[in-house]
């Protein structure tokens, strides 16, 4: 899965990361690389929480690739 994140350096020198497609999915890091690792963790957590919130009948699941 490819998800786009916006990573910017703030006025304090930290790198902030946000995923516009996943509301509230934010993270940061002292370096750009750390911010990338942290936002990957945040994305995984976001997806796990959203999946847990919605009980899905396995018979109705279809995988779709784009």
Domains detected in the chain = 6-60 (3.30.160.250)
Backbone φ and ψ for 22, nearest 5 degrees, come out as -120, 90
Q: What is the pLDDT of residues 4-58, one digit of tens each?
A: 999 999 999 999 999 999 999 999 999 999 999 999 999 999 999 988 887 777 7
Query: According to the model, what pLDDT value does residue 65 have?
Result: 84
**0.85 exceeded by pTM:** no
Say if CB 43 and CB 52 are below 8 A apart. no
Going edge to edge, which strands form the sheet with 6-9? 6-9, 15-18, 26-29
Query: According to the model, what pLDDT value does residue 31 have?
Result: 98
More confident residue, 31 or 63: 31
Query: According to the model, what pLDDT value does residue 62 have?
Result: 85
């Amino acid at each position: 899965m490819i998800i786009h994140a916006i990573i910017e350096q703030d006025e304090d020198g930290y790198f902030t990361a946000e995923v516009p497609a996943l509301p509230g999915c934010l993270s940061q890091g002292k370096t750009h690389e750390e911010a990338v690792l942290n936002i990957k963790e945040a994305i995984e957590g976001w997806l796990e929480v959203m999946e847990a919130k919605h009980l899905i009948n396995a018979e109705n699941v279809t995988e779709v690739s784009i």
